Every structure is written in structure tokens, then in C-alpha cells.
Amino acid sequence: MVYKVATKTTDANQMDYQRDEHWVHLIVYHLIRCPKKIMFETLSPITFAGLSVRECGPAGASTICFLHGGGISGWMWRPQVEALQDTYHCLIPDLPEHGLSAATRPFTIADSARRVAELIRERAHGGCAHVIGLSEGAQITVQLLGSTPLVVDHAIISSALMHPLPGLGLLGPRALALIFRLFAAPFLRSDAYVRLNMRYGNALPEQYFNEVREDTRRMKAESFTHMILENQRFRIPAGLDQVQVPALIIAGQHELAMMRQSARDLAAALPAGQGYLVSFSKRAAEEHSWNLQRPELFNAVTRAWLTDQLLPAELIPLK
């Protein structure tokens, strides 16, 4: 009887040991194959080409360079970076006169494109990157295609304005600086002002309040003026009809007619361009900021476009 009991105990211990060993191997496997995701705010920026740049992702993966919109900075790509960093090497610069690159001035679209091209040549894997730009970042992406298309693999161009908005395009530097000093500067340190602008101006989710507040407080009359003038004066660069880079051009269905027309013009100008609308809100600002308002859709579109797959059915062909 004692012998039998001892055997069972030994067998049970052996089974426990094998089970524990199995779990150890499983945990080690997942630690190697599925590394812990890096949260965007923990990335330490480097300085390159006069730009503050955050960088993450696998050493052997193709690169995505994310170009943010005017008045904010690279943090706006957090949902994309955290979702795509396992598969792509990511470069997220703060553009001149924005974020941690505020001291690099003045902001111009041509100079920003030059700096981004230098960044891609030196830091992107293979000296080439997929480039994703929204708003003013989308205009810089268009300029990049016109000036240095060889550094771009695929492009996603979201809400790139190619025509001046009625009235705004007529304002000069002095008038814009005066508008800023009268209607923005007195309120830059007001949390209520920041929240009001987030909700009714840019449609930015509340979870990004701290980042928006910091960018708002950095804004100066000069940087505001440069940003608006560049945005309003930008036109389709010459030579885009020779560029063969696959380019996805997107606008919000409820954005201003000028924005939708700009998307049509770009899709027609680029031989490998395709135009689509995103539609999920009656508010133009929400569709403009759709990478933050609908990050799952934006990420799905990104994965599909960069791998030449069918695009999600939510996108509406631009006619």
C-alpha cells in the first residue's frame, strides 16, 4: 500500500513539473514573439534635421513616417503608433514651430518637406518610408511627393487643402497676428478655452487634454501666422503627374467643399492616386480628425493600403 501511494505521489509531482515547465516555455515564447507594447508617452525623442523625433518598432520592419496637423504635434498619432509598432518601424517628428520642435523656425511646407526627406533618408529602413499626413501634414506629404518622391513608398494624404478658404486666403501676416493677439493670446492658459477649442474647434477627444494644453501654450503669434499662411497658399506642386507612388487621398464627406475638391484634384493629378471619403459624423471637424475619432477604422485603412489589400467598405469612392 505504501509503495502504491508513493508511486502516485511521484507521478503527480512529475505531472506538476511538466505542467509548470510547459507554462514557462509558453511565457518565454510570448515574451520573445509578442514583446510588450511601448506606450507613446514613454518614447524618448531624438533630434534630427532640426526636428524632435520619436522612434519605435522592429529593426527589420518597413518604416512609416507620421506627419501631424497644424497647431498640435506628434502625439496625435498615438493610437496609430501603439497599434502598428509591432509590424512597422515608426518615425513621428514634431514639425517646425510645433511641439518640441518649436524652436526650429519659421515653419514652411517646403522646408518641412526637406527636413522630413532628410529624416527618412537617414533614419528610415532602406532610406524609404510610407508617409501618412493629416491636414498640414498631408500638405507636406504632397510637397514631399513633388520634390523627393523616391523617399516615399506609399502615401496616405488626409484632408490636404489645395485651395484657399473663402476670406481667409485674403488675410496677410499683420491681420493674422492681430487676430491671434486679440482672440487667442489672452486665453492660452485657460483650461476652459482649451476644452472649448477641443470640443467645438478641432473635435479632439478629452483624453488628449494635457497634450493639447501644452501645444496651445506654446503657440505664438508668429507661429500661428506662418501656419495659416502656408496652409492657405499651398497649391499642387508641379510634376505630380510623373510620380508613381501609390497615394490614398481622403477627405471627410462633411468637410468643406474646398477640401473635397482638393481631394478630387489630387486624385486626378497623381497617376497612382485614389480618392475616397470617410463619413461617420455630420460634424466636419470630427471627420477631419478621424484618426483620433475613429482610430480602429484609420488603422484598418492604413494596414490595407500599405500592403496593397482591399480597403475597408466604410470608405466611399470619391466622384
CATH number for the segment(s) 40-162+234-317:
3.40.50.1820
Q: Does the reported pTM lie above 0.85?
A: yes
Name residues whose C-beta falls within 8 Å of residue 309's C-beta, 6 or more positions apart in sequence. Answer: 303
**Grid cell locating 232:** 492657405
Residue 106 preceded by cis peptide, ω within 30? yes
Q: End-to-end distance of the chain based on CA atoms, in angstroms?
A: 85
Q: In what order do the strands lie in the sheet with 247-252?
A: 46-48, 51-56, 89-94, 63-67, 129-134, 152-158, 247-252, 273-278, 316-317
- Whose CA is closest to 161, among 236, 212, 100? 236
Per-residue pLDDT of the chain (319 residues; tens, 9 = 90+): 333 334 444 454 554 544 455 444 544 434 444 445 678 888 999 999 999 999 999 999 999 999 999 999 999 999 999 999 999 999 999 999 999 999 999 999 999 999 999 999 999 999 999 999 999 999 999 999 999 999 999 999 999 999 998 888 789 999 999 999 999 999 999 999 999 999 999 999 999 999 999 999 999 999 999 999 999 999 999 999 999 999 999 999 999 999 999 999 999 999 999 999 999 999 999 999 999 999 999 999 999 999 999 999 999 999 8
Name residues whose C-beta falls within 8 Å of residue 41's C-beta, 6 or more positions apart in sequence. Answer: 75, 78
As a whole number of angstroms, the distance between CA 45 and CA 237 comes to 31
Looking at residue 207, what DSSP letter applies?
A: G
Bridge partners, 89 (sequence order): 63
- As a residue count, the chain comes to 319
**For the chain, what are the domain ranges?**
40-162+234-317
Q: Residue 155 in contact with residue 131, Cβ under 8 Å?
A: yes
